[in-house]
Amino acid sequence: MAQFRKQNKTLPAISTASLPDIVFMLLFFFMVTTVLRETDIKVTYSAPGATQLEQIEKKSVVSHLYVGFPKDTKLGKEARIQANDVLLNAPNEVRQWVVNEKSKLRKNEQGEHTISLKVDRDAKVGIVTDIETELREIDSRRVIYNANRAADAK
């Protein structure tokens, strides 16, 4: 009996005091990695699939442009362009937006300014071409078509 008691004393319940620390550690990890979405996406976007993907090296020089069908059905069924939080009425508005975005960058980074086109897979090439024509006009020619990794056909 005495022995039994002794054992009980040496093996107390596992201390959970360190549990908050562990959880906090995880919490900080997610807090740091989290990029809170700045914009509310008002258009449908499901990325097309591709295999030859490249990672965007410098995220700070990238501006995102969404192209898709409006989620709000009142806005019609035509594909629209979304820049930041607003839906653009015409592709030529892209020009002003890009100039604005570019001016936010540091001088030495302005040449690297890249437009990431997040185009819905069902959108037509026409609207994308319109955007690209605008981009060419203002000589902002670095473009990335966002895509998901797809299984290689081969």
Partner 1 sequence: MMKKRSSGGSQEINASSMADIAFLLLIFFLVTTTIASDKGLTIILPPKKENQPQIEKNERNVYVVLVNSRNQLLVEGEPMNLADLRAGVKKFILNNGADKNSSDNPLEAAVSFKTDRATKHATYVRVYDEITAAYNEIRAEKLGVSTKEFMSFDKEKAKKEPALVQKAETFAQKTDFVGDDVVGNYLNYDENSKDKRKQRMIDAYKAARTSSKVLFVEKYYDVQKQFPKRISKAEPTKVE
Question: Residues in the site for partner 1, rule: CB under 8 A?
Answer: 16-17, 19-20, 23-24, 26-27, 30-31, 33-37, 47-57, 59, 62, 67, 116-117, 119-126, 128-129, 132, 135-137, 139, 141-149, 152-154
In the complex, minimum distance from the CB of residue 37 to partner 1, in angstroms, rounded to a whole number: 6
Q: Is the Cβ of residue 11 or residue 153 nearer to partner 1 in the bound state?
A: 153
* Cα 136 off chain centre by: 24
* Cβ neighbour number for residue 98 with a 10 Å cutoff: 21
Six-digit token pair at 148?
């998901």
Between CA 67 and CA 62 the distance in angstroms is 16
In the complex, minimum distance from the CB of residue 25 to partner 1, in angstroms, rounded to a whole number: 9
Closest CA to 112 of 65, 67, 63: 63
Q: Which amino acid is at 1?
A: M
Q: Is the Cβ of residue 8 or residue 16 nearer to partner 1 in the bound state?
A: 16
In the complex, minimum distance from the CB of residue 154 to partner 1, in angstroms, rounded to a whole number: 7
In the complex, minimum distance from the CB of residue 52 to partner 1, in angstroms, rounded to a whole number: 4
